[in-house]
């Protein structure tokens, strides 16, 4: 078993019309043993940028703390929040810095940039970015997430339709992966509000 699969995870982010959604499962396991069913994989960096970290849970928490520290320094120096593109570059540089002993994480970054244009990207454990205009996935359920998102995605979805689409994609995908699941956590972010919802899923 790969170290990336040790705790299990499922992460997906999808863009809509001037909005985006980012969703994850809630299981924390040690291989096939479930440890917690309310694990938080998605973190708010500020009102317009969210970060999801799949992979090894301990590394994800360490990386998150370092990124919050860097973002707070940026806020103090620049007196503004980071744009999502800038934050993605920061995450990439931080991961590449540790390329010889990497953080075993696959991050997903989602945010609203200039003129409320949604930005999503993912990267590997050494910071090689993959930008997308529709959706990005990460974690042990990524293969089934690709299939579900490919078939369900439509362009310019309104926030409510986007929530339904990303929720159905997540729930149907984690049912096909024994290392992730136990419900879902979905954020839908628009220029004016952030909606957070908990999904109930199969509890086995």
- pLDDT for the residue numbered 129: 95
From the list 123, 121, 90, 110, the residue with the least C-alpha distance to 48 is: 110
Question: Which of helix, strand or coil describes residue 52?
Answer: strand
Fold of the CATH domain 1-197 = 3.60.20
Q: What is the dihedral of CA 16, 185, 43, 159, to 10 degrees?
A: 20
Note the pLDDT tens digit of each residue in 6-52. Answer: 999 999 999 999 999 999 999 999 999 999 999 999 999 999 999 99
- Between CA 193 and CA 114 the distance in angstroms is 16
Question: Which of helix, strand or coil describes residue 151?
Answer: helix
Question: Which of helix, strand or coil describes residue 134?
Answer: coil
Residue ranges in the chain modelled with pLDDT below 50: none
Beta strands (DSSP E) in the chain are 10-15, 20-25, 28-30, 33-36, 42-46, 49-55, 105-112, 118-123, 129-132, 135-139, 184-189, 194-199
- pLDDT for the residue numbered 44: 96
- Between CA 110 and CA 106 the distance in angstroms is 13
- pLDDT for the residue numbered 203: 82
Are 139 and 9 in contact, with CB atoms under 8 Å apart?
Answer: yes
């Amino acid at each position: 078993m790969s170290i990336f699969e040790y705790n299990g995870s499922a992460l997906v982010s999808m863009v809509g019309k001037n909005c985006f959604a980012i969703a994850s499962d809630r299981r924390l396991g040690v291989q096939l043993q479930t440890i917690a069913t309310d694990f938080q994989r998605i973190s708010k960096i500020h009102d317009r940028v969210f970060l999801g970290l799949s992979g090894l849970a301990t590394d994800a928490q360490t990386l998150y703390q370092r990124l919050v520290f860097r973002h707070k320094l940026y806020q103090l120096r620049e007196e503004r929040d980071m744009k999502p593109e800038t934050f993605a570059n920061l995450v990439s540089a931080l991961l590449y810095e540790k390329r010889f002993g990497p953080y075993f994480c696959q991050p997903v970054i989602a945010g609203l940039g200039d003129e409320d244009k949604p930005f999503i990207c993912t990267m590997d454990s050494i910071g090689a970015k993959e930008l997308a205009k529709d959706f990005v996935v990460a974690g042990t359920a990524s293969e089934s997430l690709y299939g579900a998102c490919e078939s369900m995605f439509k362009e310019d979805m309104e926030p409510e339709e986007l929530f339904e689409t990303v929720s159905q994609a997540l729930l149907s995908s984690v049912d096909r992966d024994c290392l992730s699941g136990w419900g879902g956590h979905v954020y839908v972010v628009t220029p004016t509000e952030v909606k957070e919802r908990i999904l109930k899923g199969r509890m086995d």
